[in-house]
Amino acid sequence: MKVSVLDIQGKDTGRTVELSDAVFGIEPNDHAVYLDVKQFLANKRQGTSKSKERAEISGSTRKIKKQKGTGTARAGSIKSGVFRGGGRIFGPRPQDHSFKLNKNLKRLARRSALSIQAKESNIIVVENFEFESPKTKNFTAVLEAFGLESKKTLFVLAESNNNVYLSSRNLKRAKTVINTGLSTYELLNANKVILSEGSLEGIESNLSK
């Protein structure tokens, strides 16, 4: 699959690059995508939800009414879950929601995500670029050049670039990652995926194994 290389003003440079069909042109595996997205979201969960059970409630242990003769159900402790302010029965406890996936499955999921975006013409390749200083307006100008200021955009770079990263950090709809940090969720959550020309080799070598 051939794609034109653009500059950061959104203009065609007259060059094209060949996207590997093994990475950008496969038949997507929906189940692999589902599992990888599920893992991404599960691993982000704090798992800190907690409610007090009966034994953790502070209060008197006095029997609240006599056993017989009231005409109502017997009751011993004010901490019982049937009373307001009592402990919760089988309430939530802190837990770790994360789980592991096979590396080959994760690579398949990322290839599937890239293939989906490529099929829908949502992948843009730009020549490598630098910012002299970390300014949000620099990154905003790039988004405006591509008409993406109101779209969710994922920028993929070949290596860590502090000026580009800091320039995008304040933008709610833009995210910058390096090619080794791709996630299926972020690839599919973006309206457009902008790949720097230098990131392609790393993406294809990492995911075509």
DSSP per-residue codes, 173-188:
TEEEEEGGG--HHHHH
pLDDT at 1: 83
pLDDT at 204: 92
pLDDT at 129: 86
pLDDT at 112: 97
Model pTM? 0.84
* Kind plus residue range of the DSSP H or E element containing 194: strand 192-196
Sign of CA dihedral 148, 154, 158, 159: positive
10-residue block means of pLDDT along the chain (209 residues)?
90 92 95 98 96 94 94 94 94 96 96 96 92 92 93 93 92 93 96 94 88
Token pair 């309430």 in the structure block, residue: 91
pLDDT at 130: 85
Name the percent of the chain in helix, strand, coil, to the closest 5.
35, 15, 50
CATH annotation of 2-46+97-207: 3.40.1370.10
Residue ranges of the chain assigned to CATH 3.40.1370.10: 2-46+97-207
CB < 8 Å & 24+ apart, contacts of 35-40: 35/101, 35/105, 35/109, 36/101, 36/105, 36/106, 36/109, 36/110, 36/183, 36/184, 36/185, 37/109, 37/184, 37/185, 37/188, 39/98, 39/99, 39/100, 39/101, 40/183, 40/184, 40/185
Sign of CA dihedral 148, 153, 156, 160: positive
